Amino acid sequence: MITPRRTANAGFNLQSSGADLLDENGQWKWPQAWYDLYPVLIGLSLELPSSQLQDQTVWKDLEGNHRHFSSLEVWHSIRTRDIPISWANMVWFSQCIPRHSFQLWLVIKNKLRTQDQLKVWEAGSETNLRLMCCPLCQHDRDSRDHLFFSCAFASQVWTNVKAMVDMASVTESWASISAWMDQHSNSKRLDQVVCKLVLAAATYFIWQERNNRLFSRLECSVIQVTEKIKNTVRLRLMDFKLQGHVDYNRVVKKWQIPVRALNEDPG
C-alpha cells in the first residue's frame, strides 16, 4: 500500500494531479524506489487523456462504471455479497423495536447461548450437562426450538399473545413460525406489521424470563410475561398513524389504543 508518508517523500501532496505523474514525453515518472516496492507499477498501462478534459479522480465500481469516489462505493466493492434472505424484512422494518429485532435475528440464526449450544464447550463435563434443564418448564435441555415455543411455559405465552393477531394457523413449533415468516416477511399491511412486532416481542421476553430464572432467581408467571408483551406492542402501536388503514378499527379495538396517538405511518 502506498502510504501518505511515502507519497509525501516522493514530492506529491493532496493537490497533485495525474499530470504531475507524467514527464514531458508522456511517460510515468514514478520514483525509482517504488518500482521495487510496488512491481505492479511496471506493467501499468497508460492512456493519455485528452488535453480538453479536466483532470479528476474517478472510481470504477465492480460493474466497470465510473463513479464519484466515496466510502459507500468502496464498501459496496469490498463487502461480501450473498443471496438475499427471505426473512430480512421480518426482522428489520421501519416500525420495529430495535432490541427486539436484534433478539429475533439471534433466534433465527440460532446464535443464542442455549444449553444445547453449551454442550460443545463443556464436552468434558457430562455430569453438569446431565443436570441442565429448561429453566422455564424444568423439562428437557433448552434450545432454540424448545424455547420458541415448544416449552410448556413458552407455549402458553405464545398461545395467549398470538390470539391478539392473525396467526391462528401458526403452531408452537419453530418450523411453523419460520414458514409463516417466509410467507409474510415482505408484507406492509398493518395487521402483518403487528404480527411481526408480537413475534419479536415474544422471543425477547421469553428469553429475558429464561435468563432471569437462570441467573437472578426471579420468576414471572405466564400471565405476567404475556402482559409484558402486550403492553410493549400496545405502546409501539400508539406511535403509529393508524387512520386510513383497512385494519384500523379492528387493531384499535383489539389493542385498546386511545384514538389520539398517532404520528407515524407504518405503510
8 A C-beta contact, residue 185 and residue 213: no
8 A C-beta contact, residue 242 and residue 222: no
Distance CA 252, CA 174 (A): 29
8 A C-beta contact, residue 220 and residue 136: no
Query: Phi/psi at 261 (nearest 5 deg)?
Result: -50, 20
**Residue 175: which residues within 8 A CB-CB, separation 6 or more?**
none
- Which of 22, 21, 28 lies closest to 7, judged by CA? 21
- DSSP code per residue over 35-67: HHH-GGGTT----PPPTTSPP---EE-TTS-EE
Q: Mind listing the pLDDT tens digit of every residue in the chain (267 residues)?
A: 555 566 666 667 767 776 777 777 777 777 888 788 888 877 777 665 555 666 666 777 777 788 777 788 778 777 887 888 889 999 999 999 999 999 999 999 999 999 888 766 655 555 455 557 899 999 888 899 999 999 999 999 999 999 999 898 999 999 999 999 999 999 988 889 999 999 999 999 999 999 999 899 899 999 999 999 999 999 999 888 766 677 778 888 889 888 654 444 444
User: What b-and-e string marks burial along 207-241, b requiring 16 or more CB atoms within 10 Å of the CB?
Assistant: bebbeebeeeeeebebeebbbbbbebbbebbbebe
The H-assigned helical ranges of the chain are: 4-9, 32-37, 71-78, 88-91, 98-109, 115-118, 126-131, 144-145, 152-162, 174-184, 190-211, 222-237, 248-255
**Residue 197: which residues within 8 A CB-CB, separation 6 or more?**
95, 96, 97, 100, 233, 236, 237
pLDDT at 239: 85
- Which of 6, 71, 76, 67 lies closest to 35, judged by CA? 6
pLDDT at 155: 97
pTM of the model: 0.69
Instruction: Give long-range contacts, CB 8 A cutoff, 24+ apart: 36-45.
Output: 37/6, 38/2
